[in-house]
Amino acid sequence: MPRYAISHKTHYDYASPVIQSFHLLHVSPREVSHQSVQRHSVIIEPAPTSRESALDYFGNPAVRITLEDEHSELSVTALSAIDIDQVDTPDLEASCRWEDIAERRVGAAAGLNRTVLDYACYSRLAEPTPATAAFARETVQAGASVLTAAHTITQRIFEEFAFDSSTTDVSTPVDQVLAQKSGVCQDFAHLQIAALRALGLPTRYVSGYIRTRPPEGQERLVGADASHAWVSVWSPEFGWVDFDPTNNLINSEDHVTIAYGRDYDDVSPISGVLLGGGDHSVSVSVDVAPETGEARSPT
């Protein structure tokens, strides 16, 4: 079982002083079936006037802070140690037909309660459109299983789309990503969610990290890792199963989950409202490293 030591540092520099600010932080890892948090802390500088830890609507750990003293910088550092159990890849063909979920034929007996149906609802950044619905229908065969449908779309995005951070930002619509066939992990996750929701399948956005491995013979660059995003698809037989369209992976133990929601808006690492500040610059450094032992390569 690998244990990962994770450091996620975010630093803001403001052009003019911030008089007051309120922030919601999603930088604390949640407990999931294959992941246990051994220790975690969040260091905030300058020290906030008030600080409250709670669970958000989706059950993610969140921290709410208020700063009432004038400041020109803000630093948030999240430090964690997390154990990851081996995650098996389910038999994709053993899940029910995607049409059964889409038509609600299995009903409440399959667990289609609110905690599942929340992720079948449309959301701002992953809203199904005619273009994404057509993309889904031409990719997924009629009668395919739920997990095969998700895997087929995962493979197509991985094979046909280029990873290019210069072509999108956090507000890029999924239709633009689909048309230009490029973007980053967040874009690919939003596109896959929109496509699967167009088929009627509950799909959630997962934020977290993935351990990166340097080329053979080279050392890891501390702080060179980054936040990552992928999707989780629900089937009545297996529950939630993770798919990573950026890397064409299913249920990898190199992934560390922080939070999940309908799209990025629900789980952005740091959001908030400022009084003052003007223009600002932000720098982010993420490091994911094995603390004890060595994680196995994903299969």
Which CATH number describes the domain made up of 3-85+268-292?
2.60.40.2250
Q: What percent of the chain has pLDDT over 90?
A: 77
The pLDDT value given to residue 262: 97
Summarised one tens digit per residue, pLDDT across range 87-106 is 889 999 999 999 998 776 44
Among candidate residues 155, 162, 146, the one with its CA nearest the CA of residue 239: 146
The pLDDT value given to residue 211: 82
Per CATH, the architecture of 92-266 is what?
Roll (3.10)
What confidence category does residue 281 fall into, taking pLDDT thresholds of 50, 70 and 90? very high
The pLDDT value given to residue 296: 38
- 25: pLDDT strictly greater than 60: yes
> So where are the chain's domains?
3-85+268-292, 92-266
Summarised one tens digit per residue, pLDDT across range 250-267 is 988 889 999 999 999 999
* Neighbouring-strand partners of residue 32: 35
Neighbours of 66 (CB within 10 A): 14
Summarised one tens digit per residue, pLDDT across range 209-222 is 988 776 676 665 55
131 φ, ψ to 5°?
Answer: -70, -45
Summarised one tens digit per residue, pLDDT across range 177-234 is 999 999 999 999 999 999 999 999 999 999 999 887 766 766 655 545 678 999 999 9
* Neighbouring-strand partners of residue 206: 230, 260
Among candidate residues 130, 100, 242, 266, the one with its CA nearest the CA of residue 195: 130
- 174: pLDDT strictly greater than 80: yes
What confidence category does residue 112 fall into, taking pLDDT thresholds of 50, 70 and 90? low
